[in-house]
Every structure is written in C-alpha cells, then in structure tokens.
C-alpha cells in the first residue's frame, strides 16, 4: 500500500466554534488572535490587501454578513451586535428572543460552511502553486512513512535543524520525499511561504531518457534571484542590482519563517561556498536541500540519507506502476516472480519505474537481463543518468575500491575486508571510501551497540544492488570508452 502521507488533504474545516469566536471578537481589537486569523485564506487576503489581520477579518465578516443579509432579507449583522443582550437585539429587530437564537445558529452554520469552502480553495491553490514551483505533482509514495515522519519533525522544529539535507543516490526518491513532506498541512501552516529552487541540470524522462535543463548551473547569485522572484515577483526582482537582491532576500527570510527548498544541490556551482551562506540566512526561515552528494560532513546541516526500498515496498511500487499502464495480468503475478525485479534494481524507485515501462514492450526476463547486462540504448542512458557524473569525479583508487565492492558480503564489509579485496594500503582505502560515501555510491551501516557504533570494527560498507548491476557490465563499457580517448 502507498504511504498516504504523500498526498494528504489538509484539515481545512472552519468549525462553528471558530466562527462564534470570531463573531464574539468582532468590533473589538482581539480579532488578530482568533483561529480564523491564522487561516490560509485570511493570510492570503492580508498579502493581497496589505491590511493588518483585524482589518482583513472585519472586511471578510462584513462581506459574508452582507451576503447573508441579502439571502435572508434581514440585516444579519444586527444579530451579533457587540455588547447587546439577546433581548435588546430582539427588540431592535422586532423579533422574539427564540427567533434571534435560531437566526444566529443558522447564520453561524452558513458562515462556517462558506469559510470552509474558501479555506479549502485557498489550500488547493496553494498546493498547486508549490507543485508548479517544483515542476512536478505529488504522487503516492511507497516505503517512506518513517522518513516522512523524521523530515516533518525536523521541519516543524523551531529550535534547531535550520538547514536540512536529504541525500542519496540518483533515483532514490529525494525530490518526491521533499515535495510530499512540505505539502503536509502542518508544514504549510508552519511557514509563511514555501519557495522551490531546482538546481537540476538533467532529468530522466520515461520516454526520451535524459533531458538536459536549459538554465545554467545554480550559483549563489542565481539562487537569490530565483528565491526573490517567487517571494516578490519577477518584475520587482529584475530592477534590483545583485547586492540589492541579496539584501532584500536576507530581510525577507529573517523577517518571517519561509521554507526554501533547493533541489539537486550537487549540480550547484561551488556547493561548499553555498552552504555557509544558507546557514547564515536561516532562522526563522529554513532550508531543505536534496543532493546526490552526502551532506553529513557539513556541520551546519541536519541530514539523513535515503536507502533503497525493501522488497515488500518495492513490489507495491512495481504493481502500482504496472496497474497505471494497464498491465493488470503482470500486476497480479505472484510475488516470487516479481521479486526478481528487486534482485536487479535493489529497490531503486526510478529503476523500478524503468522496468515497469519496459514491461509494456518486452517480457520480464528480457527486461531484467537487459538491465543486468546493460543492453540497449535506454538502459545505457539510464545508467549514465544515475552514475556518470559521480564516476567522472572518482580518482583511480576510489574506482578500484568501487569495482571490488561486489566481492564484499551483501550486508556489507568492514575496513579490513575491503583492504584485503582491493589490495590497497589502509590510507588509500580510507581516502577512497571517503570519496565514494560523499557521492552516495557506498552506504555506511553502524553496529547495534551505541558504545561501539562508530568504531572501525562495527562499521560496515556496502553498495546498492543497482550499483552492483552497473559495475558488472556498464562500467566496463565506460572504461573502454575512456581508453580509446587516451
């Protein structure tokens, strides 16, 4: 089953109790403290009108009561006269006290329904705006419930975790997780606005393969401009100098809590210089970063890494993708048959989606063999999308250590085992592992005992199953290509 948290509808109902609270505070100076003042609909009204909260709520109450007055052919506002007893209100309107109570109840119920509809529409529009900024829609996710809980807790924290990093190998679902997390009602309520900046230089298209971006690599200056464009508009941003833009962004981020998502940070120019700048801009605003490069060594980043899906979740995702393609017979196949997919993809969501797409054309065994043996143009492009940038940055020792990792136990090997199979000195293995871990090509597993969880004897190092498939066939082609160029 998918994790429902990926697309939960926000709790937008405006209750009769909240309406009563607002009407009782109407005409006083306490409207800004009511629950309705914190609603998204009113917050958006404030942004459009520039009014303070009390004035915006008064205007909304007046509009609603005037509409009810036209429908009920009575001055509805008179039902809620400040400081007037029900007896006096009844006398002034020429009605009985019981009628006033009945009229009030009906008006409150109608206002609750009307304001609920306005609030629901505001949330739908806001979620659509964020999906538009992210250039992707939310979809059901599998096997991410625990990660969503951790990420949302960090985003809601008001004392720490000002810069949050989600890292992992390509295709593992970092961007989807980030979008699912921020579309949560509690997160959207926590921040005054959500900005999404993509540093992505290429993306995987299920039909066309690798599609390159048209914009240049992200720099700090372009990040500032793109954040401001979403906060104050493109025209207002364009007339500012780079220095004015930086100052304006700093003011806005430190004036109120804003969440800035920077997706695919690994493609940004001079990532090491970018991180300290972001940390200096945080609080009360937060930054959420996704990256193929591990961010664990950055002291200012609260980070966690995504791993491949376990078998049960991988099968659920595969069946979901097959059903979407109307491959119902395959979707209903026995788990033992479909589990072969996990042996090759290792639970990488993007690889599972690739397999599902190929299954509309070829038998399962052919698709898995092609993926395992890196056969075909699309498979070659897929491996290049996941691994090419990382492979190019590795030095010779790191490449050698990565190439011998399929010889290490599936649950991972210790430093001594890796030194033995690689036949490299300890210092070179340490440096190589540091590179590979930073590029999310090798996973680090810690022991169960907290007392020794970070010692060399307990650390275990492993690779994803998909990486193993890549190393056994595809990388040999790349090495041959590089030799021809020499």
Q: 483 or 219: which carries more pLDDT confidence?
A: 219
Across the range 276-293, mean pLDDT stands at 92
In terms of Cα–Cα distance, which of 288, 296, 290 is closest to 263? 290
Q: Is the pLDDT of residue 13 over 60?
A: yes
pLDDT attached to residue 78: 61
What is the residue whose two structure tokens read 């806005």?
Answer: 252
pLDDT of residue 94: 63
pLDDT at position 125 over 80: yes
For the chain, the domains span 4-122, 135-305, 324-373, 383-485
Cα angle value 223/172/363 (rounded, 5°): 135
**Which range among 72-86, 318-332, 366-380, 415-429 shows the weakest confidence by mean pLDDT?**
72-86
* Whole-number pLDDT of residue 84: 61
pLDDT digits (tens, 9 = 90+) for 158-198: 999 999 999 999 999 999 999 999 998 889 889 989 999 99
Per-residue confidence (pLDDT) for residue 451, from 0 to 100: 42
Residues 450-460: tens digit of each pLDDT: 444 444 456 89
Calculate the average pLDDT of the chain.
85
Mean pLDDT check: name the lowest of 274-278, 292-296, 379-383, 445-449: 445-449
pLDDT of 6 reads 44
Name the nearest CA neighbour of 285 among 258, 306, 304, 308.
Answer: 258
CATH number corresponding to 383-485: 1.10.10.10
For domain 135-305, which architecture applies? Answer: 3-Layer(aba) Sandwich (3.40)
Please compute the mean of the pLDDT values over residues 295-315 and round it to a whole number.
Answer: 90
Q: Rounded mean pLDDT of 96-122?
A: 82
Nearest Cα neighbor of 168 from 262, 266, 300 is 266
Polymer length of the chain: 486
* Average of per-residue pLDDT across 196-214: 80
Pairing relation of β-strands 209-212 and 202-205? antiparallel
- 8 A C-beta contact, residue 86 and residue 101: yes
Compute the average pLDDT of residues 96-108: 76
What is the structure's pLDDT at 8?
44
Whole-Å CA distances, 129 to 52, 123, 183, 272? 24, 10, 11, 30
Predicted pLDDT of residue 148: 94
36 close to 114: Cβ distance less than 8 angstroms: no
* Confidence (pLDDT) at 47: 65
Query: Which of 163-167, 188-192, 231-235, 271-275 shows the lowest mean pLDDT across its residues?
Result: 271-275
pLDDT score at 60: 78
Question: CA-to-CA distance for 209 and 379, rounded, in angstroms?
Answer: 9
Centroid of chain to Cα 200: 14
SS3 content of the chain, % helix, strand, coil (to 5): 60, 10, 30
Task: Extract the tokens encoding 60.
Answer: 């909304």
Higher confidence at residue 65 or residue 338?
A: 338
Residue 431's region, left for phi above 0, alpha for psi from -120 to 50, else beta, is alpha
Per the model's pLDDT, the better-predicted residue between 343 and 45 turns out to be: 343
């Amino acid at each position: 089953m998918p994790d429902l948290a990926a697309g939960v509808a926000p709790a937008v109902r405006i209750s009769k109790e909240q309406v009563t609270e607002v009407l009782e505070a109407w005409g006083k100076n306490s409207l800004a403290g009511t629950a309705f003042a914190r609603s998204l609909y009113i917050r958006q009204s404030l942004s459009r009108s520039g009014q303070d909260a009390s004035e915006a709520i008064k205007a909304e109450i007046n509009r609603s009561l005037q509409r009810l007055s036209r429908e009920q052919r009575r001055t509805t506002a008179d039902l809620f006269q400040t400081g007037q007893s029900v007896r006096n209100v009844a006398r002034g309107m020429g009605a009985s006290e019981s009628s006033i109570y009945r009229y009030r109840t009906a008006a409150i119920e109608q206002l609750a329904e009307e304001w609920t509809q306005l609030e629901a529409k505001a949330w739908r529009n806001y979620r659509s705006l964020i999906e538009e900024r992210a250039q992707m829609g939310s979809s059901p996710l599998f096997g991410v419930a625990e990660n969503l809980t951790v990420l949302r807790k960090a985003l809601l924290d008001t004392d720490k975790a000002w810069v949050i990093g989600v890292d992992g190998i390509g295709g593992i679902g970092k961007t989807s997780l980030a979008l699912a997390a921020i579309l949560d009602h509690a997160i959207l309520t926590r921040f005054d606005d959500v900005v999404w900046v993509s540093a992505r230089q290429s993306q995987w298209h299920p039909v066309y393969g690798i599609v390159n971006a048209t914009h240049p690599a992200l720099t700090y200056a372009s990040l500032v401009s793109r954040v401001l464009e979403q906060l104050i508009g493109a025209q207002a941003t364009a007339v500012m100098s780079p220095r004015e833009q930086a100052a304006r962004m700093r003011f806005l981020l430190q004036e109120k809590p804003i969440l800035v998502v920077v997706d695919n940070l690994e493609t940004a120019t001079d990532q090491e210089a970018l991180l300290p700048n972001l940390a200096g801009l945080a609080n009360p605003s937060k930054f959420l970063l996704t990256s193929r490069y591990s961010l664990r060594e950055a002291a200012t980043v609260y980070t966690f890494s995504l791993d491949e899906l376990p078998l049960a979740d991988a099968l659920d995702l595969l069946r979901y993708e097959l059903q979407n393609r109307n491959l119902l017979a395959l979707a209903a196949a026995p788990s033992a048959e479909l589990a072969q997919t996990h042996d090759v993809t290792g639970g990488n969501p993007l690889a599972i989606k690739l397999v599902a797409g190929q299954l509309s054309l070829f038998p399962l065994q052919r698709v898995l063999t092609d993926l395992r043996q890196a056969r075909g143009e699309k498979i070659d492009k897929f491996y290049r999308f996941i691994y090419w940038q990382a492979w190019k940055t590795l030095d010779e020792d790191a490449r050698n250590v990565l190439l011998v990792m399929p010889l290490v136990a599936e649950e991972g090997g210790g430093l001594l085992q890796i030194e033995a199979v690689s036949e490299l000195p300890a210092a070179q293995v340490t440096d190589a592992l540091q590179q590979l871990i930073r590029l999310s090509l090798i996973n680090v597993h810690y022991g169960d005992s907290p007392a020794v969880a970070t010692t060399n004897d307990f650390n275990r190092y492993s690779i994803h199953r998909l990486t193993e498939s890549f190393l056994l066939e595809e990388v040999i082609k790349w090495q041959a290509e590089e030799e021809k160029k020499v």
